[in-house]
Amino acid sequence: MIRFLDLAAQYHELKTEIDLAVARVLESGQFIGGHEVTALEEEFAAYSGARHGVACNSGTSALHLALLAAGIQPGDEVITVPFTFYATVAAIGYVGATPVFVDIDPATFNIDPSKIEAAITSRTRAILLVHLYGQCADMDPILDIARRHKLVVIEDAAQAHGAEYRGRRAGSIGDIACFSFYPTKNLGAAGEGGMLTTNNLEYARTAALLRSWGEEQRQRYRPRLKGFNYRLPALQAAILRVKLPRLEHWIDARRAFAAEYDRLLQHASITRPHALAGGRHVYCLYTIRVADRDALQQGLEAAGIQSAVHYPLPIHLMPAYTDARYKAGDFPAAEECARTVLSLPMHSHLTLSQVEQVASEICALSSKKNHEPVVSRR
Ligand SMILES: Cc1ncc(COP(=O)(O)O)c(C=O)c1O
C-alpha cells in the first residue's frame, strides 16, 4: 500500500524534541498565549519574510481575521476563484461581503490575472487569491491591478508555506496572508492551527485583538472590539516550533519527488502540473490532470496506491454555495479541472521507489486506456 500521506512519519523523525516540547508546555501550565505562541509568530513571520505574525486556531480563522482587519464589510465585493477549498469563499461570507469569481489558468490552477479587471466594479474592495497546491499565483500582474484600483491583496497561502514568487515568499507578497497548520499541510500541527502574516502593523494589531475577544493582552474583560475566540493553543505552537526548522528540508524532499514524478510521467497520457519559471513550487499537492480521472483513480486503488481529488466540484456548482449569479459553464477552466484533477501520493517521507511504483502504474494504466490530456499545457 502506498499512502497518500504519512502524518506519523514526521512525528517519528522528531519524536524526542516534540515530546520534550509537549512536556515543557504541560509543566509550564501556560496553555493559552505566552512564550510559545509569540515565539512561533516571530519565527514563522521571519520564515515567510513578513514583519508580523498573528497565530490563530485555523486557516479559516486567519482568513476571517484578514478580511476584518482589511475593513471588508457587508456589501463589499471580494474577487476570488471558484477552484479552491471552500474556506476561502466561506470566509468572505463571514464578513457579509460578496465573493466575485474569476476563472483560473488551468496550467497553474491559480487565478487568471488577465480575467480580473473585467470582474472589478465600484464595490470591489479586495482580491483574495489562492496559492493552490503550493504554487504562488502570478502575483506581479495581480499587484499591478490592485494598485491601480486601490484593492487590498489577501493571499490564501494555506497550502503554500515557503512557496516563492520571483524571490518573494508567500506570506509577504500581498497586503495580508493566511496560512493553515491543518495536519495535512506542509507545516502541520497535531490538530488545528493557522497564522496571519503581514507587513502592516495596523492590520496585525487589529487581527491580534479580534483573535482574542477584542482584548488587549493585559486588559482582560474590557474588550476594545467585538472579537472571537480564535487563539492557537500553546501546545500546538510548541509542536510547530519544533517542526519549522525542518520545513526547508521537507520542502526539498517534496520538490525532489515532484521532479521524479515529472521525469517518469513525461510520456504518460496525462498532464503534469506546470511550475511557473522564477518561482518555487512547494508541492503541498502533486496534482495531474487526466480525462478519465475516475478510472485512473480506481486502477491505482486496485494496485494499492492512494490518490485524492482536490476538488471534485468548483464552488459555484456546490449546492451549499449556490448563487443565482452563477451557473454551470461560467468558469470553464475551473469546471474542467474539477472533472480531471488527481493528486498523487506526496509527502516529505515518501521514497523514490514509491514514486517509481506510482509512476509506472500510471504509465501502464494510461497506455491501456486512452487518458488523453484534456487542457493543453502552456
Ligand atoms: C486553500 C485553503 N484555504 C483555506 C483552508 C482552511 O484552513 P483550515 O482547515 O486550517 O481552516 C485550507 C485548508 O484546507 C485550504 O486548503
Q: Give the span between the Cα atoms of 266 and 363, in whole angstroms.
A: 9
Q: What is the pLDDT of residues 42-59, one digit of tens each?
A: 999 999 999 999 999 999
**Among 323, 290, 1, 279, CA closest to 140:** 279
Which of 56, 61, 85 to probe ligand 1 with, by most ligand atoms within 8 A of CB?
85
pTM: 0.96
For ligand 1, is residue 155 a contact (CB within 6 Å)? no
CA of 94 from ligand 1 middle (Å) equals 15
CA of 193 from ligand 1 middle (Å) equals 10
Q: Determine which helix (DSSP H) or strand (DSSP E) holds 100, and give its type and residue range.
A: strand 98-101
- State the closest ligand 1 atom to the C-alpha of 87, by its place in the atom list counted from 1: 4
Using only the alpha carbons of the chain, give its radius of gyration: 21
Q: What is the pLDDT of residues 64-109, one digit of tens each?
A: 999 999 999 999 999 999 999 999 999 999 999 999 999 999 999 9
Residue 2: what pLDDT? 96
Positions of the chain with pLDDT under 50: 371, 373, 376-378
Residue 376: what pLDDT? 44
Residue-wise DSSP of 199-230? S-HHHHHHHHHHHBTT--TT-TT--SS---B-
Which residue type is seen at 94?
Y
Q: Give the span between the Cα atoms of 115 and 138, in whole angstroms.
A: 12
Q: Give the span between the Cα atoms of 161 and 170, in whole angstroms.
A: 7
Can you read off the three cell numbers belonging to residue 282? 512547494
**Among 293, 286, 268, 330, CA closest to 5:** 286
For ligand 1, is residue 57 a contact (CB within 6 Å)? no
Spatial contact of 227 and 214, defined as CB atoms under 8 Å apart: yes
- State the closest ligand 1 atom to the C-alpha of 184, by its place in the atom list counted from 1: 14
Can you read off the three cell numbers belonging to residue 359? 509512476
Residue 368: what pLDDT? 66
CA of 53 from ligand 1 middle (Å) equals 17
CA 12 centroid distance within chain: 25
Spatial contact of 178 and 90, defined as CB atoms under 8 Å apart: no
CA of 187 from ligand 1 middle (Å) equals 12
Residue owning grid cell 482589511: 70
